[in-house]
Amino acid sequence: MTKKAPKLTKIEEHNIAMWDEAKISRFRQTLLSWYDDSKRDLPWRHTSNPYYIWVSEIMLQQTQVDTVIPYYNRFVTTLPTVKDLAEASEDTLLKLWEGLGYYSRVRNMKVAANQIVAEHNGIFPDDFKDILSLKGIGPYTAGAVSSIAFNKVQPAVDGNVMRVLSRLFELDLDIGKPSNRLVFEEMIRILIDRERPGDFNQALMDLGATICTPKNYKPENSPVKEFNASFLNETWMKYPIKKSKKKVKEEDYIVLALSNNKGEYLFERRGSKGVLAGMWSFIMISKADLKEDEWKSFPSQTDGLSEPEMTRLYKKVKDEYGLTIELDNEMKGTYTHVFSRLKWYLNIYKGQIVNEHTMAKQTSYIHPDQFSETAFPVPTQKVWELINTITLF
């Protein structure tokens, strides 16, 4: 008989010193009583409706609590049920999401709402695998909704939890590496409170957000400092381990705020891929495309346009948009928009549409009176604000 080698758990693989049952029990009690005393009063903590919990969790992805609160309140008031969400138009949804960023989140929510209507009779599913199969719901959100709304014993490992565990156990694991998330999940499956899994998960996140913070971390203030190996061993400055990110790419654009004789402005719907996919923007022309080949790789950022560049600009607008335009001589101003890994230097011009031929791109004229009915990403809003700024000389 050949004996199969016992399969190592990830905790064993990484030589993590997991606590014994008595210590785990004390940790749960200490953490939960701190949570009962000190938890933050948040709108989504006043409900056990899984739909509301779901909305909050999607909004909270990579987004701060203070930013989410007003969006959350408006969203659930406007769309109180899954069915309302499923029946809402994309325009309605994007308007509710306007300025929150990561717009695919709300598009995915609509897909998921349709799944719930089609496959679960409009009732939010309580089975973990069913929840995980919903569009836009990954391992974290499935665990969060399962544990918080349905009291299921499931881990919800986010950035907070990885940071907290890294410090508690002196984990030499890169928390930026996706495959390492499974190690943290395995640890939480052991540590999580069997009676109050949702509160346990939220307690770890509250701890990470308010005390076990990335910066200005003071481990002596932690309610679980006696469990904290990195505090006891004075190695807490090392944790968590995280490799630095890459530099941002920079791009220069000419932005054209073009109006017609009705006072309407021309907008273009961005392509279905890439940054701000499907969102409405003023016409943007890459400045690199206006330069002589040899200068293309040198960003000029906020310089004005030279004569030959201006000539190429007019030709490009005519060729690609079928528009004859007349620009104001002066650049109205500049605006720099910073994304996660991208930086836009926008040179903003105002102009009139003299003649319109064929429109190849997906464009729309919108009157300023109607702006409140359309969802504009922040760069579009900033450009509009800037061209309406009165400049003093």
* Residues binding DNA (CB under 7 A): 40, 42, 44, 56-57, 60-67, 99-104, 108, 135-142, 144, 158-160, 163, 177-179, 202, 205-206, 208-209, 213-216, 242, 244-248, 273-277, 337-342, 377-379
Question: Which lies closer to DNA via its Cβ, residue 171 or residue 353?
Answer: 171
The position carrying tokens 């679960």 is 120
Question: Which lies closer to DNA via its Cβ, residue 102 or residue 314?
Answer: 102
Question: Which lies closer to DNA via its Cβ, residue 134 or residue 327?
Answer: 134
Judge whether 57 counts as a catalytic residue.
Answer: yes
Spatial separation of the C-alpha atoms in residues 154 and 197, rounded to whole Å: 7
Amino acid identity of residue 383, one-letter, is: V
Spatial separation of the C-alpha atoms in residues 180 and 175, rounded to whole Å: 7
Question: Which lies closer to DNA via its Cβ, residue 29 or residue 213?
Answer: 213
Catalytic-role residue among 13, 21, 57, 186: 57
Helix (H, G, I), strand (E, B) or coil at 118: helix
Task: Report the half-sphere exposure of 35 (CA within 13 A, side-chain side).
Answer: 22
Measured from the CB of residue 56, what is the shortest distance to DNA in angstroms? 6
How buried is residue 279: exposed, middle or buried, by Cβ count under 10 Å (0-12/13-18/19+)? buried
Spatial separation of the C-alpha atoms in residues 390 and 330, rounded to whole Å: 13
Measured from the CB of residue 44, what is the shortest distance to DNA in angstroms? 7
Q: Which stretch of DSSP H or E encloses residue 255?
A: strand 249-259
Measured from the CB of residue 352, what is the shortest distance to DNA in angstroms? 27
The secondary structure of residue 127, as a DSSP letter, is: S
Measured from the CB of residue 78, what is the shortest distance to DNA in angstroms? 19
Measured from the CB of residue 130, what is the shortest distance to DNA in angstroms? 14
Question: Which lies closer to DNA via its Cβ, residue 208 or residue 351?
Answer: 208
Q: Is 162 left (phi over 0), alpha (psi -120 to 50) or beta?
A: alpha
Who's near 119: CB < 8 A, 6+ residues apart? 125, 130
Which residues participate in catalysis according to the annotation?
57
